[in-house]
Amino acid sequence: MTLPAETLNLLLMFGGRSCEHAVSVTSAKSLIAAIADVPYQVQFVGITEQGQWRWALEDSIDSIVKEGVVNPLAGAGVLPDLNSPGRFLNADTGQHFLFQADVIFPLLHGPYGEDGTLQGLFEMFDVPYVGCGVAASACGMDKLVSKRLFEKAGIPQADYIEVRRQNWLDEPSRVTADIEQFLSFPVFVKPANMGSSVGISRVSEPGQLKAAIDLALEFDSKVLVENGFENMLEVECAVLGNEQPEASVVGEIRPGAAFYDYASKYVEDTSTVVIPAPMSDAASQKVQALAIKAFKALDGSGLARADFFVDVSTDKVWLNEINTLPGFTPISMYPKLWAASGLPYTGLVAKLVALAKARFEMKKSLKCSYEVPVKGASH
């Protein structure tokens, strides 16, 4: 492909210190395959499971990926040069790479990728990046924090209880008693900060709580226990935009297991998707409106995917959670929903890049200091 004279330099980052490392690698490969004909000059930085940054010297993701993960022995070590926006240093030689990023597209899922930590680094790096900012990313990742924000916004959700590690270690019987008193089985037990259904259990009776909470605490020090919904549609809606976000058509997820767990999503490929979801126009519009409302409650920007439960007999809708950096794998709902809404994959990527640049320019236009008037000075 012949690149135009003013080609945008896009840096794709993937991998990361998360249980979702392999999902991130798959997302990155899918994105590259889909935008092969888009006029971007693309380079790649993979983050290993140990947190090392590796530059793909051969201009290919495959040059630093081995057996589905970023290889710590491949490519070159890389560091962002915070004194030169968009420029990166070779960790071995101390020299700059020739490539200077105009926009960064992070495709990292879970902790140390979509929880605001990497976004904070990008802010210091002074380079536009795709997706939500620091606060929205951090709040969106923490299911307990986001639930409180959604409560304040008046968005209907399932009843829930927060479990802290120390409380569980000190008084497990009291915790289980509270769950039995205030919630109804089945319940779902989730790590507060994790995605892709990692560490989640469906609990149908009190005797299963201990194993489920112990499992969730392997991934986080805070656990969310919430009411499950039986005989409901599980639907998802994609959001795109900055100050004036738009919602996609609504799609239904039909899990291939008792619930939409990690294996159903990425391993067994037994779940199915129905777009548009088989429900009334009124329910679909309610889901779309609530998806945008949740996005704004987080102060989101760029993209997010909101997940809901819908009672088709009453058109009642409950928000499950929001994902501020949804997957871009071949089976991911976010690009599928926008394709069904009339925005194909390449157009979606172009829109996300444009939104990243627009958000960056808006922030650059804001004042960063204030001159305090001197007492007694003349006006």
Under CATH, which architecture does the 8-129 domain have? 3-Layer(aba) Sandwich (3.40)
In sequence order, the 6+-apart residues with CB closer than 8 A to the CB of 292 are 239, 245, 246, 247
Residue 8 host element (H or E): strand 8-15
The segment(s) of the chain belonging to CATH 3.30.470.20 are 233-364
Residue 231: CB atoms within 10 Å: 8
- The CATH homologous superfamily to which domain 233-364 belongs is ATP-grasp fold, B domain (3.30.470.20)
Q: Average pLDDT of 237-244?
A: 98
Mean pLDDT of 133-157: 97
Given a cut of 50, is residue 1 above it in pLDDT? no
How much is the average pLDDT of 23-42? 86
Ranking 2-11, 25-34, 119-128, 321-330 by mean pLDDT, the lowest is 2-11
Residues 6+ apart with CB under 8 A from 327: 23, 26, 27, 109, 196, 333, 334
pLDDT tens digit sequence for 273-317: 999 999 999 999 999 999 999 999 999 999 999 999 999 999 999
Cα within 13 Å of Cα(198), Cβ side: 18
Taking 90 as the threshold, does the pLDDT of residue 135 lie above it? yes
Q: 11-27, pLDDT tens digit by residue?
A: 999 999 988 899 899 99
Query: Which DSSP category does 63 fall into?
Result: G
Portions of the chain given CATH number 3.30.1490.20: 159-227
For 2-11, 229-238, 251-260, 286-295, which range has the lowest pLDDT when averaged over its residues? Answer: 2-11
Evaluate if residue 99 carries a pLDDT over 60. yes
Query: Does the domain formed by 159-227 have CATH 3.30.1490.20?
Result: yes
Distance between CA atoms of residues 126 and 138, nearest Å: 19
Can you give the pLDDT at residue 230?
A: 86
Q: What pLDDT score does 336 carry?
A: 95
pLDDT of residue 369: 64
- Note the pLDDT of residue 329: 81
From residue 264, how far is each of 17, 140, 181, 254, 256 by CA, in Å? 22, 23, 31, 10, 6
Q: What is the pLDDT of residue 196?
A: 56
Distances (CA, A) of 286 to 37, 235, 283, 338, 370: 37, 12, 5, 18, 43
Look over the chain and give the mean of its residue pLDDT values, rounded to a whole number: 91
* pLDDT for residue 302: 98
One DSSP character per residue, 317-372 reads EEEEEEESS---STT-HHHHHHHHTT--HHHHHHHHHHHHHHHHHHHHTS-----P
pLDDT band for position 216 (cuts 50, 70, 90): very high
pLDDT of residue 57 exceeding 80: yes
Q: Which one, of 290, 243, 252, lies nearest residue 272 by Cα?
A: 252
What percent of the chain lies above the pLDDT cut of 70? 91
DSSP-derived pairing of the beta strands 103-107 and 8-15: parallel
Contacts of 111 (CB under 8 A, 6+ apart): 17, 18, 117, 141, 193, 194
What is the total residue count of the chain?
379
- Please say whether the dihedral angle defined by the alpha carbons of residues 245, 251, 256 and 259, taken in this order, is positive or negative: positive
CATH 3.40.50.20 domain position(s) in the chain: 8-129
Q: What is the pLDDT of residues 174-194, one digit of tens each?
A: 999 999 999 999 999 999 987
